Structure 1
Amino acid sequence: MKINLDIIAEELSAFSPRRAGRKKADTAIRNLQGVGLYHPQTSLSPEICYAAAADSITDTFCCPSDITLVVIGAADECLLDSADAEILILDGGKAQCTFSHIFNALNSVFLKYQAIDAQLSSAVMKNAPLQEILKIGEAFFGNPLILFDKNYCILGEADPRLEKLELVCDKWSDSLMLSIDTVNAIKTSPEYRRASASADVCFVSEEYFAYNTLFAPVKGSGSPLTMAVMETDCPLTQVHRQLAVYFSGILRLALGRNHLSSGHSLRFEDFLKELLYDTQIEQAVIDRYLLAMDWKNGDNYLLVTFQTNRFDKINSIYNNICVNIEKQIPESFAFYFEDNLLAVINLDRARMSKTDAVHMLSIFLREGLFHAGISYIFFDFSTFSSYYKQTLGALEMGEKYSPHEWCYDFEDYVLHYFMHYGTSRIDGRHLCHPGVVQLYVYDLKNKTNLLETLKTYLECGENAVQTAQNLYIHRNTLYQRLKKINSIIHTNLDNANIRLFIMMSYTFVDLLGLSPVES
């Protein structure tokens, strides 16, 4: 954070600050790091703000050039006006303050801004939520702070103090946004038009907007974003422009770490996390979020959870990996949740099979940094959390029974999982073998009876003659049905464990009063 005499003068306004020296207009280039006592015989640094007592400023005083000096006390300003330096005079105002009192106040300014800078830097490094960083900014400016996207939708939450703000609801995302009239009022203000040409900070007065507001572009974020500081509690000053430039840079770093620059939607990520927390969301709202991604609720999806370990727990690498996953696999969306990396893949939009998707992810897995749990294929986001639990179950069972492997498909470990936990953690319908679900959906769409055919075939010990008799169909008809079943479920019925779990899936449906798919 660049601290200069403008900031110091505003912070110490109680001490009647006055500017002197020839460089009165150059303070914005300064980047002062701390305060020290002025001694003419020592080597002076342009990054230090030096403090000198007023009684040391006499006719023989020769101010070194290109330094920053704070004179404490009632000094002769005529002796300082011609100095080739940046000078601020603090005489204590009406209060008769001692040199040490004002010096300590001066030092406190640096401590305050350094603490804020450290707090913000820490928040960015830890990938703190956007709202948490904005809360720090509100304490920083002493006013509400909002981040808008290119359509002036609010990224985060609207501050209750901004009651005069005219907001409408975006029909696609249910997010609050400025009304068209309000946006037009902002963009027609003279300073906004001047500032937009140079992508600079601009001040919009209450004449054009509900509040006096500083608008600062968040440069380099990839998607046009705007930070707004609205005057409700503390008057906005010229110094706040400098602070707005600094804070917009912090937001740029934070959003860059959240890979917004790659087109990653923070709003869609928050939506998925709400589903993982089992928040009940109406189907119409789910459809709107998916529509923003050009996805449909009925598409086939796959969820992969990457379990990190050792140094991989450092969040700073998470976003780069998410970006790489999204670049590697078309129609994928990657984000981190509970110290894991999650990737949702729209198989239909990507025109790939589950096997193809896993193969494309193998480059990340073979490096030995991750273990991966893979869910069943699913097509209903209202059940998203169940498939996340499947990936965690696959990881747990896989590491227990096959620790030498790196990729665990829940379909291969569902029987192990059921023997450990039954249906206590995952709804029984989401433990059903995928083949049972696929046949159920096919029967609904095509008015067929393949689900019952497979059940009878397995109950008869794969005896075709007995199965045909029990179903009252010709043996050739049975063979045609079995061929169709095999083309749908792609499952090896010669595997005893697979046959066992398919029959258990039928039991889940019958005993628990479920259907393989939620209505």
Structure 2
Amino acid sequence: MKLNLGLIMENLKTPYERVAGYTDGALGLIGICPYVAGQQYAKDILYLAQWPQLRDEPRIPENVILIGGGDSALAFLEKHQINGLIFSGDCTLPGIMLEVQNIFFKYDEKEHALLNALLMNKPIQNILNACAAIMNCHASLYGSDYMLLGYSDVNLPPDSNALWQETLVANRCQIPMNTQKRDRDKAFQSKSEAGPRSVFLNTVGSENTHISSAFYHDDLHVATLVFSSDSGALSARHLWLADYIVETIHKSIIERFSSYLNPHDYLRISLITALRYAVVSDSRALKINMSRIGWRMNDDYRILLIKLPSDSCNLSHSLHAYENVFADAYPNYVTFWYDDYIFVLLRNDACNELEKYLSVLKKQLTQSNGSCSVGMKFCDLNQLRLHYELAAMPHKIHIFAKQRIKFYRDILETHIVNIITSRFPLRAVCHTAAIRLQEHDIANGTNYLETLEIYLLNNRSLLAASNKLFLHRSTLAYRIKCIQNITQVQFEDPDERLHLLLSCLALRIMSRNSLTDVDYPGANPQDAHYDFILEIREHTKGSKPRKTEAAKPPVPGQESK
């Protein structure tokens, strides 16, 4: 981060004796290095030298720190119009070098914190906290109507600060704003201006304790950033520092709070950030922009991910083609490129009317040789990253490779069971009646497990279940009688019926698992998962768990042997 001599003077612990030239100019120094006679000097470097090294040199750097020399050194620097600091001859060159380097490092860390907050699209308070840390004073942001948009909780004014307390109560800036020099705090158009664009505000007292910087989009006022200090007066060096901060955050503030920009643009930026960092940042600004297009955080949403062949050369043309498909069908949608997919977010009615337009989508997919996965409907935009991962899963499963349109709902049950079995031996908690039915089916070639599942799913309705199974009603009644004879189970207890139904579903999915470890890590439960039961048993005996070979899962039909 660039500094000026004034900021370095403000942070020095070792006292200096004299100051030459103007130290509160524009931020232009990027670091410090030792002075070497005869070399070319950079304008953005602060040079450190002993006074005897410099006094006979014909060419002098523009910014220097001298060790020793006193009044003679001061007269020499003023004669050559050099900006600099003069320390006592008792100071050591390495000591001053280290101290000034640490000042640059400190501001670099603060700059990194600000850039990180902007990159991750963090809430406005996080950004203002980073701004306040750089300025070492309080920061508050106001809209074009001077209503309070946010403030830092770093360097908060004390409760005795009446002006700030009035601002909090009114939720509006109570400081008189300077409006006579609007051209000085316009949006940044040129970096060659002679003076800073930030200005001091007229407050009670003779000291300058408030600085304001305005944000403009073209000629339209968007927001104003105010820095306030309760620990001392602010100077011209702080005006330049405020200019740098405003220039850094200008784009972000305009995107968040300008009512003159397309809110869809900010929505896209926020969604991409949420996908990248798994969190919807600055929900207040996002809600403001969403409300302008009639969207809410808790609306119904659905994600579509369109994957094109790797040899597709004209990506912008492909995106435009799919935008046209959705624009004709759905007025409420957002689309953009993310990773390897065209990301489409449908909202409310568009989620429910998806089925009507699948033929149009399939036609476009066929033309571009692409495929589309359809995620679940959800109602909390904070879950965007999670549902993105779920929507992407069908693209990774080999059995769906040739399908143009694939739905996550088709693997929902399998996915849930796989998550459980990757952490716990699910068969161990299945109902014994369901396990016995599965063993009977394997041994005798029957299909009683599926029959029981369909029968329970249809609330024990013989008519509905027989239609689902394409059986005669009397045939189904006979099967149910056989199931009861095999398992000795009754269907009167609702809790037992639920346990039976879940067991039938889990056993069916585990026996017909369509996912592999390649498709979904943990899809095939590892044998070692059974070892933890042995460890628990050993712990209950008060001894250390013994090392055992991986226990093999029971083979259907052999557990009773």
User: TM-score, structure 2 length as denominator?
Assistant: 0.51
What's the offset of the Cα at 1:88? 1.3
Unmatched tracts of structure 2, length 5 or more: 187-196, 308-318, 421-457, 473-496, 503-561
Residue deviations 1:333-358 (CA, integer Å, cap 9, x gap): 57999x99976433548997466599
Distance change (3 Å), C-alpha of 1:140 and 1:400: same
The letter of the residue matching 1:227 is L
Q: 2:156 — aligned with what?
A: 161
What is the DSSP-based 3-state SS (H/G/I as helix, E as strand, rest coil) of the residue aligned with 1:302?
A: strand
Residue 91 (1) aligns with residue 87 (2): yes
1:10 match: 10
Secondary structure of 2:302's aligned partner? strand
Aligned partners of 2:128 and 2:152 also within 8 Å: no
AA partner of residue 11 (structure 2): E
What residue number does 1:71 align with? 66
Identify the residue that residue 347 of structure 2 maps to in structure 1: 346
Task: Report the count of equivalent residues.
Answer: 394
Deviates more, 1:139-148 or 1:294-303: 294-303
Give per-residue Cα distances to partners, 1:441-496, cap 9 Å, x unaligned: xxxxxxxxxxx9xx999557399xx9xxxxxxxxxxxxxxxxxxxxxxxxxxxxxx
Match of residue 201 from structure 2: 204
Matched, 1:106 2:100: yes
Aligned-partner residue type, residue 41 of structure 2: L
Please name the residue that 2:467 is paired with: 461
Native 8 Å contact 2:395 2:401 kept in 1: no
In terms of Rg, which structure is larger? 2
Report the counterpart of residue 82 of structure 1 in structure 2.
Answer: 79
User: Residues of 1 paired with 2:49 and 2:97: CA distance?
Assistant: 9
Residue type matched to 1:88 in 2? G
Give the corresponding residue for 2:31.
34
CA positional deviation for 1:195: 4.6
DSSP-derived class of the 1:50 partner: strand
Residue 240 of structure 1 deviates from its aligned partner by 1.5
Residue type at the aligned position of 1:8: I
For the residue of structure 2 that corresponds to 1:140, the secondary structure is: helix
Task: Name 2:131's counterpart in structure 1.
Answer: 137
Deviations 1:70-95 (CA, angstroms, capped at 9, x unpaired)? 33321423333231x43213234xx9
Alpha carbons of structure 1 residues 412 and 386: separation in structure 2 relative to 1, 3 Å: farther
Structure 2 letter corresponding to 1:204: L
The CA deviation at 1:367 is: 9.5
What secondary structure is seen at the aligned counterpart in 1 of 2:33?
A: strand
State the superposition RMSD in angstroms: 6.0
Question: Which secondary structure does the structure 2 equivalent of 1:225 belong to?
Answer: strand
Matches within 5 A, 1:92-491: 92=88, 96-121=90-115, 124-125=118-119, 130-151=124-145, 152-155=147-150, 161-162=156-157, 163=159, 164=161, 182-183=172-173, 185-186=174-175, 188-189=176-177, 191-195=178-182, 198-199=185-186, 200-207=197-204, 212-218=209-215, 224-233=222-231, 235-252=233-250, 262-263=262-263, 264=266, 291-295=291-295, 301-304=301-304, 331-332=332-333, 344-346=345-347, 348=349, 353=354, 356=357, 374-376=374-376, 381=379, 392-396=389-393, 399-400=396-397, 402=399, 404=401, 408-414=406-412, 416-417=414-415, 461=467
Deviates more, 1:354-363 or 1:106-115: 354-363
Q: Quote the offset at 1:134 in angstroms.
A: 3.5
| Superposition deviation, residue 294 in structure 1 | 1.6
- Measured at CA, do residues 459 and 219 of structure 1 come closer, stay the same or move farther in structure 2, by a change above 3 Å? same
Deviations 1:140-184 (CA, angstroms, capped at 9, x unpaired):
22223334444534347656934556689xxxxxxxx9666843x
What SS does the corresponding residue of 2:66 show, helix, strand or coil?
Answer: strand
Q: Which amino acid aligns with 1:87?
A: N
**1:484-503 aligned within 5 A:** none
Asked if 2 retains the 8 angstrom alpha-carbon contact of 1:75 and 1:89, the reply is no
In structure 2, relative to structure 1, the CA distance for the partners of 1:8 and 1:2 (3 Å cut) is: same
Mapped to 1, the partners of 2:126 and 2:365 lie a distance apart of 31
| Letter of the 2:131 counterpart | G
For the residues of structure 1 that align with 2:246 and 2:270, how far apart are their CA atoms?
23
Structure 1 residue 129, shift from structure 2 partner: 5.6
* Partner of residue 498, structure 1: none
Q: Partners in 1 of 2:353 and 2:110 — Cα distance?
A: 48
Whole-Å Cα distance in 2 between the matches of residues 361 and 150 of structure 1? 47
1:306–1:462: structure 2 CA closer, same or farther, 3 Å change rule?
closer
* Cα distance, 1:366–1:90 mapped onto 2, change above 3 Å: farther
- After superposition, the Cα gap between the structure-2 partners of 1:135 and 1:388, relative to the gap in structure 1 and judged at 3 Å, is closer
8 Å Cα contact 1:213/1:228 also seen in 2: yes
CA displacement, residues 26-58 of structure 1 (integer Å, 9 cap, x when unaligned):
932x62222233344222222222223234565
Q: Does the Cα contact within 8 Å between 2:4 and 2:23 map onto a contact in 1?
A: no
CA contact (8 A) 1:131 1:157 kept: yes
* Distance in 2 (alpha carbons) for counterparts of 1:116 and 1:204: 25
Structure 1 segments unaligned to the other structure (5+ residues): 169-176, 308-320, 423-451, 467-506, 513-519
Cα contact 1:57–1:75 (8 A) shared by 2: no
> Is the contact made by 2:144 and 2:221 (CA closer than 8 Å) also made in structure 1?
yes
Q: CA deviation at 1:201?
A: 1.4
